[in-house]
Chain A
Amino acid sequence: MFSRSALRSFASELRWTAPSTISSAPLQQRACLHQTASLMDSQQPQSQSSFTHPESPLSATPRAQDAKPKGIPPSNNFNEATMTPQTRADVPIAKQPVEPTFTSPLKVTKSMLSQLPHLAGQKPHYVVAQLHARPYLLTEGDHLRLPFLMPKVKAGDILRFNRASAVGSRDFTMKGTPTIDERIYECRVRVTGVDSEPLRIKEKTKRRQRHVKHATSKHRYTLMRVMDVRVKTPEELLAEGAVIVEDGEDASVIEPRS
């Protein structure tokens, strides 16, 4: 989310000028959030359409195949700072989430593809998500209180953690080198609010001086709830346009428990 403003301006230009260059349908931003869990049925026609255009690499990796936004006009009386958006219609078009653009399709090694059903089929899953180079071990339904105040998010927003160093289940772990490709798994969190700590007072003293200075601090933290942690099955990956390659050195591997 840190180079997002640049991405956003780029994407909004694309959106206005030629939305069909990135995706087959205009305004597919909704795809970034609402994902695939319950959508195996609705995937079929989309995946076929992606097979008809194999020459463009991005159409081979549609992020999600569900609900196209209906071209809802953004409401005019939206005030950024104060309002909690209830639906996507409340969010202005320039602020809507940007669909990630990938330059190449997902590459999966043969060995990983053979192991992946074991991992994907064994629930529940955990993910070690990296945020500012700190690991957070998350499972579904966890409460997460970030050690900082995340800028530009509001209560009710849904985020997708796309840097993970490991995804695993009880018996299998997929380790990244150093991170796993974000198209293999899905970890979504919902911002539930902002919390603060009790006022901290630190006494600052100097030698040979009776005066004591009190430094106060009261930090604020973003609260989140993990909505889902999921590993995609090989069928889903192939339907989304993954390419099978030979085993290499720097690919993610799935390790069984020893």
Chain B
Amino acid sequence: MPLRGIRTSTAARNGAGAFILQCKRLDFHYCNWAGSSKGMVTFLENFLPAFARENPQIEIRVSPRPQKHPLIKGLYINGREKPVCVRNLEPSEILKKANLLKEASGEKLKRTKKPVTSLNESVRGIWSPYHGDLRGV
């Protein structure tokens, strides 16, 4: 007998009822010595407390990463992570990057052509030649 996965009874539709921000954690890495971390260190001192206070739903971790460029890493509910290198950036630019990570869905970036994706069945059903009245051509 083949191994069967567990079938889910419902599909996740975040936002249809309750809404949960997809970003669950942000890791801030910096280096105390390197010049490329200068903006990051200023950001951590001046901007991060306010950012963390305004986003209580996001866990924030700050840790040094010596001899490396500064990095922000976002972790998402779907298990993916998104790292952004912020070397030589100004604190305001780093704040923009942090906001980008916060609002992102965590999915892999894809080009899509269709704006609407639906899990529902077609409302009007599928056309059938055997039903409905005849129409002249």
By a beta-carbon cutoff of 8 Å, the part of chain A in contact with chain B is 77-79, 81-84, 124-126, 136-147, 154-156, 168-170, 190-198, 200, 223-227, 257-258
Query: Can you report 8 residue pairs joining A to B where beta carbons are below 8 Å apart?
Result: A81-B95, A84-B55, A143-B116, A143-B117, A144-B115, A147-B115, A155-B21, A227-B16
Q: Is the CB of A126 within 8 A of B123?
A: yes
Which of these, A77, A168, A226, contacts B124 with CB under 8 Å? A168
B contact residues, total (Cβ < 8 Å):
39
CA–CA, A258 to B111, complex, Å? 38
Docked Cα-Cα span, A193 to B107, in Å, equals: 11
Q: Contacts A82-B99, A170-B123: A258 and B132 contacting too (C-beta < 8 A)? A: yes
Decide if B95 touches A193 in the complex (CB within 8 Å). no
The docked-state distance in angstroms from the alpha carbon of A98 to that of B98 is: 30
Residues of A contacting B19 with CB < 8 Å?
Answer: 155-156, 190, 192, 225
> Would you call the interface of chain B mostly helix, strand, loop, or mixed?
loop
Which residue of the partner chain A has the closest CB to B106?
Answer: A193
Verify A225–B115 contact, CB threshold 8 A: no
A195 and B116 contact, Cβ closer than 8 Å, known pairs A79-B50, A82-B54: no
Docked pose: A223 CA to B103 CA in angstroms: 10
Which of A124, A144, A195, A227 counts the most chain B CB atoms within 10 A?
A: A195
Query: Which of B16, B50, B54, B135 makes the CB contact (< 8 A) with A140?
Result: B16
Instruction: Name B51-96 residues within 8 Å CB distance of A.
Output: 51, 53-55, 57, 95
The docked-state distance in angstroms from the alpha carbon of A124 to that of B16 is 15
Q: Which residue of A lies closest to B17 (CB)?
A: A227
Give the shortest distance, in Å, between A150 (CB) and chain B (any CB): 12
Bound state CA distance, A156 and B132, in angstroms? Answer: 43
